[in-house]
Amino acid sequence: MKKNNRNKYPLQLNHGKKDVLIFKNLNQMADYGVTIWKDIAWKAIEEQGRFVVALSGGKTPVELYNRLALEKDFPWDKTYVFMVDERFVPYESDDNNYQMINRILLRHVQIPAKNIHPILTLESSSSGSALRYEEDLVSFFKNIDDKYPQFDLILLGIGDDGHTASIFPGSDELSLKETRHLTAAITPSDESKKERITLTFPVLNNAKNIVFLAAGENKAEIVKEIMGSKKSLLPAAMVKPKKGKMLFLLDKSAGSLL
Ligand code: 6PG
């Protein structure tokens, strides 16, 4: 990135056909995230009477969720919230993504309970939870023309190993070859990470809009790799919407090597 435009944020880049916005800080990124959320939502509600979104866990989207919780006039009654992924832990666990999103956002807005679709972790196995979630997706999107559910917006994070959703590097069962299942149960090779349930690439890549959020120095190297190589096998680099739009929102630390 040209050095001379570094103090004018947000900086707009097109890196290897990927649209990137770099923000001064997480707050500016979150403010912009609310704007995009509302633009996509109102368009979806105008066109189809509802806005269907899938949310990721992790730390980066927390500021955005905090701001969305203040949007009391937003049409939450026409908004349907799904999870991108979930750790196979009880709701009460601090590792549970749905618990975090409910605590920070959902319980503060007037969204009907029936509009919220968590990945339940009550089954005896993560594969059982993945199957239940797939059944929920099929039932909700039942009249979809397309073979796969189509979300209006999917918010994704980027792990410092290049994972996104709960698709980790080397997750063979989740290569782009996976075309049948909408969800999968994952046992990360990294022992410290919990068993997980995740949406698969066919669902991610069928979205109308994908927005990646990444912040912090620790993401700079992986973001550079994701942006720099068209053939990267990093999961976050393998997200390529078939017809939809994709945008990367980075803070200046995560975008510092672009
Ligand atoms: C999860 C997320 C995961 C996350 C990345 C980035 O369940 O942890 O869905 O994919 O988006 O790990 O996490 P941070 O935002 O905390 O860096």
pLDDT, tens only, 75-104: 999 999 999 999 999 999 999 999 999 999
Q: What local confidence, expressed as pLDDT, does residue 235 receive?
A: 94
Supply the pLDDT for residue 5.
55
* Amino acid at the residue 168: F
Q: What is the mean pLDDT of the chain?
A: 92
Q: What is the percentage of the chain residues whose pLDDT exceeds 70?
A: 93
Question: Could you please report the per-residue DSSP string of the chain?
Answer: --GGGTTSSSEEEEETTEEEEEESSHHHHHHHHHHHHHHHHHHHHHHHS-EEEEE--SSTTHHHHHHHTT-TTS-GGGEEEEESEEESS-TTSTT-HHHHHHHHTGGGTT--GGGEE-----SSSHHHHHHHHHHHHHHHTTT-SSSS---SEEEEE--TTS-BTTB-TT-GGGSTT--S-SEEEE--SSTTSPPEEEE-HHHHTT-SEEEEEE-SGGGHHHHHHHHH-TT--SGGGS---SSSEEEEEEETTTTTT-
Q: How far apart are CA 142 and CA 101, in angstroms?
A: 26
CA-to-CA distance for 240 and 231, rounded, in angstroms? 12
Residue 6 clears pLDDT 80, i.e. is over it: no
The model's confidence at residue 53, banded by pLDDT at 50, 70 and 90, is very high
pLDDT at position 4: 45
In the prediction, which pLDDT does 22 show?
A: 97
Q: Which of 214, 248, 252, 215 is closest to 3 using CA atoms?
A: 252
Q: Sorting pLDDT into bands at 50, 70 and 90, what band is 210?
A: very high
> pTM of the predicted model, to two decimals?
0.95
pLDDT at 232: 86
Strand partners, 18: 15
Return the best residue to mutate from 56, 63, 168, 174 for the ligand 1 pocket (most ligand atoms within 8 A of CB).
56
Instruction: Tell which one of 60, 86, 119 to mutate to probe ligand 1, the residue whose CB is within 8 A of the most ligand atoms.
Output: 60
Residue nearest to atom 7 of ligand 1 (CA): 57
- Residues 126-133: what's their mean pLDDT? 96
What pLDDT was estimated at residue 8?
Answer: 84
Q: Report percent pLDDT > 90 for the chain.
A: 81
Q: What is the pLDDT, as a whole number, of residue 3?
A: 46
Between 33-47, 69-83, 227-241, the lowest mean confidence (pLDDT) is in: 227-241
Q: Report, as an integer, the average pLDDT of 186-197.
A: 85
- Predicted pLDDT of residue 18: 87
| Mean pLDDT confidence for 15-25 | 89
pLDDT at 189: 80
Query: What pLDDT is attached to residue 170?
Result: 83
Q: How confident is the model at residue 142 (pLDDT cuts 50, 70, 90)?
A: confident
Ligand 1 contacts (CB < 6 A) are 56-60, 84-85, 97, 157-159, 163-166
**Which atom of ligand 1 sits closest to the CA of residue 213?**
15
Q: How far is the CA of 152 from the centre of ligand 1 (A)?
A: 20
More confident residue, 171 or 134: 134
What's the confidence (pLDDT) of residue 137? 97
**201 touches 238 (CB < 8 A):** yes
pLDDT at 68 over 50: yes
Check residues 12 and 22 and name the one with the higher pLDDT: 22
